[in-house]
Amino acid sequence: MTASSSSRRRFVRNAAGTTALALIPYQGRPAHAGTSEAAVPFEPVFFTPAELEFLSAACERIFPQDDLGPGAVALGVPFFIDRQMDTPYGKGELWYLSGPFHEGPPQLGYQLPFAPRDLYRKGIAAADAYARQRRGRKFSGLSANDQIDLLTAFEGGGVQFPELNARMFFEQLRRNTLEGVFADPVYGGNRAMQGWTLLGFPGARADFMDWVDQNGAPYPFGPVSLARQPL
Amino acid sequence: MSRKRTDVVIIGAGWAGSILAKEMREAGRSVIMLERGPERRTAVEGSYPGSIDELRGAIRHRLFQNPAKTTVTIRNTMNQTALPYRQLAAFLPGEGVGGAGLHWSGVHFRAAPDDLRLRSHVIERYGKKFIPEDMNLQDYDVTYDELEPFFDKAEKVFGTSGEAYKIDGKIVGNGNVFAPSRSDAFPLPPMQDVHTAALFRKAAAEAGYHPYSMPAANASKPYLNSYGLQMGPCNFCGYCSGYDCFMYSKASPNINILPALRSDPGFTLISNAHVLRVNLDAERSRATGVTYLDQKADREMTIEAELVIIAAFQFHNVHLMLLSGIGKPYDPVSNTGVVGRNFVYQTLTTSHAWMGRNDYTNQFVGAGGAGVAIDDFNSDNFDHGPLGFIGGSPVWVNQAGIKPIAAAMSGGGKSSPRWGKGFKEALVDTYRHSFAIDAHGSNMAYRDVYLDLDPTWKDSYGQPLLRMTFTWKDNDIRMNQYVVGKIEPIMKALGARHYELGRLEYGEPFDTRRYQTTHLGGGAVMGADPRTSALNRYLQSWDVSNVFVIGSNAFPQGMGYNPTGTVAALAYWAAHHIRTRYLMHPGPLVHRA
Ligand SMILES: Cc1cc2nc3c(=O)[nH]c(=O)nc-3n(C[C@H](O)[C@H](O)[C@H](O)COP(=O)(O)OP(=O)(O)OC[C@H]3O[C@@H](n4cnc5c(N)ncnc54)[C@H](O)[C@@H]3O)c2cc1C
Ligand code: SF4
């Protein structure tokens, strides 16, 4: 089940560098309720060790380990987010980031000058500072309940960080965490396709000719991934 | 600056542009088609499994317009400052060869006869006073009977699957009882119902409504289209809406038209060519060609042409007209001008049913155009007299395939947590056992809802962004609430364990952060009166007669149905009149009164 960090990196590189990837059927162990999966260590390309501590704690609160299966850390979400920071998306190349910048009503959407990378760098520093000021420790040093309290406050929009509303940071974190849980394992998250197994999603099968209508029966086959082998 | 010559230059390689290119080649004219995005061939850029990757596809927007280069600004009302649409969300314009026609879903409707002459129809049935004062209700100035041969022609190119109700006035099958008579059957039989569509079909009939199979440009069987191009049967892969079809089953310009043109020496397709403007002569009454930026060489190029077809998609068409000075820009204060007037969208709300825990809805199975709908509350199929609104919505189960990231973003029901404890459980239950029912409705045009050029923000080419002033109005909210109320009996008949009705609320502004549809319309509408339409009934500019503007920009108001079937029919209709009349005698096809 465990893969070395170098082999994990290799799969990600394959995803970027090849268009036709071999498909192999799912052979990994299904997720067992309540199994405790260890995080796989890796070398971050973007986050500092301190940032990574925040990121791991926060995404685990958003998608926690519980009776239904592993949480964000065991699924490789921090690794996924770290690698996303090194893509055109992470660098803000898919957003219109030309000025001038004015805040407006929420329904007119995102109006900050920051790429995803900047949101993390500024957001994590501000969130840790906020945690120290309010609870006397950096975020990752707090109890799970205290962490949940802070994230709830960030989500609510009532906390203003120096350069952005905490809600913007929280929404970015929630979005990328869920992407990491449910994107193809080839991007480094959704380890052993356990995110997909949880939902009953068959991944890249993409052929349901004989399953168009089976009158409500559960789909019987496990998922397949774009990765050369299950992570 | 380099120059080239051609008979016809076409801006945009989506459905509208590709149809016009094929028609102009059949008429023997040389054609250059300019597309600002990259090349996208099914067997190369669109092949399996790269095409079925949710993160790369619908989430990171592989096939959509990149707003970093150019976008729009949006505000709800005229007294606000419009702000840039910095992250794609509410609507997803296409970019690259095939346009949004490569990643659309394939729901393929013909406009309802009443919707094409809505103003005349409302006045005849309900009287002129029924029309709210600030509503710009208009006719298309083309009728269903005039368009019928072109609807038929488009379906035979798209390989559309469906079931007819009436052919030549005779009832022939179990199709939509509200649909007008056709000259021929659909080229392919209807798509099979997925489980949830079958549940909806039964429950809707029990509730007293008239369910029918949605017409889908997803092939239910192998099909050879009228251009000799082959489609394969759809396997309900579920990577449909927002994705390109690796199975050659969903109609796209890339599969259904362009292969018939690519080897034709009289046809040239130039990708990565961003058109900056249409060039006009000194009197602004004749176009001389276009200027584009060759994005690979970073060089401006000019093409001289006899005929210019603007087919860059609804709001890009309006943007190009404003940047080029074609027609008079609309001013809502003085209520004059036409370019930007009658900007419309569509009302879309989704309701959810949760079935029993032993009933697996398998929402990942699906095809973008397939499903079961009712038209009992669409168009003028019901008496609006006592209701006090204009418009309607089809209601349907159109399960295009729900992938896990998208499912996780919306999570469980309205009262379930968005993250943390309880989130997973609600998400799993919702993903496994629920399904969606949409009310996909009309949107009328209003004096203060329009398009113009933004005074502040510019695109990466230095040109002003287009500005949208848009919000929901009471007429459309009332319509949506009425139709959504009619979903309740279906929910009851389904025996759903739990259900939630989604509807527009009064005073809630248009929200740019939530995907609705990419069915934007109007802004350069067709019509009989040059004071209220930018184009005549042949989609020809009233002011610059060698410019035709093809797209949903021509719709005077937003209809309940999806637009592309009507866009394609209008494209063939315009092309027919260009071929049979304009090319012989270039000049206005309709004279100003
Ligand atoms: C996810 C999704 C699902 C949809 N599903 C349906 C459906 O089920 N049924 C339906 O009826 N409709 C659907 N639509 C809408 C449908 O895609 C459009 O109505 C249709 O594609 C419009 O065709 P078009 O040719 O007008 O524009 P497009 O297909 O958008 O093509 C326009 C092309 O012009 C290019 N262009 C723009 N500006 C320039 C410029 N300045 N220079 C050069 N090129 C330029 C663009 O890059 C684009 O490729 C859907 C849309 C989306 C996004
Ligand atoms: S659902 Fe069918 S039409 Fe749509 S992409 Fe898959 S195979 Fe193609």
| pLDDT digits 0-9 by tens, B232-290 | 999 999 999 999 999 999 999 999 999 999 999 999 999 999 999 999 999 999 999 99
**What torsion, rounded to 10 degrees, do the Cα atoms B494, B498, B499, B505 define?**
160
Is the CB of residue B548 less than 8 Å from the CB of residue B541? Answer: yes
- Looking only at the bridges linking them, the beta strands covering B287-294 and B273-280 are antiparallel
| pLDDT digits 0-9 by tens, B551-578 | 999 999 999 999 999 999 999 999 999 9
The answer to the question of residue B292 being in a domain is yes
Question: Angle at Cα A89 formed by Cα A83 and Cα A93, nearest 5°?
Answer: 140
- Looking only at the bridges linking them, the beta strands covering B464-469 and B72-75 are parallel
Task: Provide the 3-class DSSP secondary structure of residue B267.
Answer: strand
| Active centre residues of B (catalytic) | 519
| CA-based radius of gyration for chain A | 19
Block residue for tokens 């209709």: B573
Task: Provide the 3-class DSSP secondary structure of residue B8.
Answer: strand
Q: Quick one: residue B431, left, alpha or beta (phi over 0 = left, psi -120 to 50 = alpha)?
A: alpha
Q: Is pTM, for the whole model, over 0.90?
A: yes
Report B:488-527 residues touching A (Cβ under 8 A): 509-513
Length reported for chain B: 593
> Six-digit token pair at B238?
């579920």
| Interface residue of B424, B460, B465 to substitute, partner A, most A CBs within 10 Å | B424
Instruction: Give the per-residue pLDDT at A20.
Output: 31
Residue whose C-alpha is closest to residue B565's, from B557, B573, B577, B576? B573
Crossing angle of helices A116-135 and A49-62, rounded to 10°: 80
Q: Which ligand is nearest to the CA of B293?
A: 1
Contacts of A213 in chain B (CB under 8 A): 192-195, 198
Report CA(B232)–ligand 2 centroid distance (Å): 10
HEC assignment per residue over A27-85: CCCCCCCCCCCCCCCCCCCCCCHHHHHHHHHHHHHHCCCECCECCCCCCCHHHHHHHHC
> Six-digit token pair at B398?
């159109």
Look up the domain containing B187 and give its range: 2-582
Of all atoms in ligand 2, which is nearest to the CA of residue B370? 1
Report CA(B520)–ligand 1 centroid distance (Å): 10
- Non-local CB neighbours of B129 within 8 Å, separated by 6+ positions: none
CA B486 to chain centre: 25
- Give residue ranges with CB within 6 A of ligand 1: B 11-17, 34-37, 92-96, 99-101, 103-107, 241-242, 273-275, 311-313, 316, 368-369, 518-519, 551-552, 562-565, 567
CB-based contact A109 B83, cutoff 8 Å: yes
Q: Please spell the DSSP secondary structure of B436-505, one letter per residue.
A: EEEEEE-B--BTT-EEEEEEEEE-TTSPEEEEEE----HHHHHHHHHHHHTTHHHHHHHT-SEEE-----
> Six-digit token pair at B592?
């100003």
Residue nearest to atom 6 of ligand 2 (CA): B237
The answer to whether B425 contacts chain A (CB < 8 Å) is yes
Please give the Cα distance from A142 to A130 (Å, whole number). 12
Please give the Cα distance from B520 to B526 (Å, whole number). 15
Helix ranges, A136-199 (H): 144-156, 166-182, 194-199
Instruction: Give the per-residue pLDDT at A183.
Output: 98
The answer to whether A30 contacts chain B (CB < 8 Å) is no
Please give the Cα distance from A138 to B41 (Å, whole number). 51
The answer to the question of residue B589 being in a domain is no
The answer to whether B424 contacts chain A (CB < 8 Å) is yes
Contacts of B198 in chain A (CB under 8 A): 213
Tell me the average pLDDT across A162-186: 97
The answer to whether A220 contacts chain B (CB < 8 Å) is no
The domain tally of chain B equals 1
Report B:262-301 residues touching A (Cβ under 8 A): none
Report CA(B219)–ligand 2 centroid distance (Å): 9
Contacts of A176 in chain B (CB under 8 A): none
Substitution site in B15, B438, B566 for ligand 1 pocket (most atoms within 8 Å of beta carbon): B15
* Residue ranges covered by each domain of chain A: 47-98+106-207+218-225
Crossing angle of helices A166-182 and A116-135, rounded to 10°: 120
b or e along B398-420 (b: 16 or more beta carbons within 10 Å of the residue's beta carbon)? bbbbbbbbbbbeebbeeeeebbb
The answer to the question of residue B359 being in a domain is yes
Q: Which sign, positive or negative, has the C-alpha torsion B373, B378, B384, B387? A: positive
Does residue B217 have its Cβ closer than 6 Å to ligand 2? no
- Alpha-carbon distance values, B188 to A199, B164, B184, B258 (Å): 34, 10, 11, 21
> Six-digit token pair at B182?
């056709």
b or e along B300-316 (b: 16 or more beta carbons within 10 Å of the residue's beta carbon)? ebbbebbbbbbbbbbbb
Task: Provide the 3-class DSSP secondary structure of residue B426.
Answer: helix
Tell me if ipTM is over 0.90: yes
If you ran DSSP here, which 8-state letter would residue B56 be given?
Answer: I
Instruction: Give the per-residue pLDDT at A19.
Output: 30
Residue nearest to atom 2 of ligand 2 (CA): B234
- Smallest Cα distance from B137 to chain A, Å: 27
| pLDDT digits 0-9 by tens, B466-479 | 999 999 999 999 99
Task: Provide the 3-class DSSP secondary structure of residue B133.
Answer: coil
Instruction: Give the per-residue pLDDT at A10.
Output: 36
Write down the mean pLDDT value for chain B: 97
Report CA(B240)–ligand 2 centroid distance (Å): 5
Question: Angle at Cα B177 formed by Cα B236 and Cα B564, nearest 5°?
Answer: 50
Q: Which of A8-12, B72-76, B152-156, B516-520 has the lowest mean pLDDT?
A: A8-12
| pLDDT digits 0-9 by tens, B406-451 | 999 999 999 999 999 999 999 999 999 999 999 999 999 999 999 9
| Interface residue of B405, B429, B468, B516 to substitute, partner A, most A CBs within 10 Å | B405
> Six-digit token pair at B469?
């002033």
The answer to the question of residue B416 being in a domain is yes
The answer to the question of residue B587 being in a domain is no
Contacts of A175 in chain B (CB under 8 A): 409
Instruction: Give the per-residue pLDDT at B593.
Output: 77
- Smallest Cα distance from A65 to chain B, Å: 9
> What's the CATH number where B425 sits?
3.50.50.60
- Smallest Cα distance from B275 to chain A, Å: 20
- Tell whether the model's pLDDT for residue A9 goes beyond 80: no
Residue whose C-alpha is closest to residue B521's, from B372, B345, B388? B345
> Six-digit token pair at B85?
């649409």
B83 → closest Cβ in A102, A148, A199? A102
Query: Which H/E stretch holds residue A109?
Result: none
| Share above pLDDT 90 across residues of chain B, in percent, rounded to a whole number | 98
Confidence of residue A133 (pLDDT cuts 50, 70, 90): very high
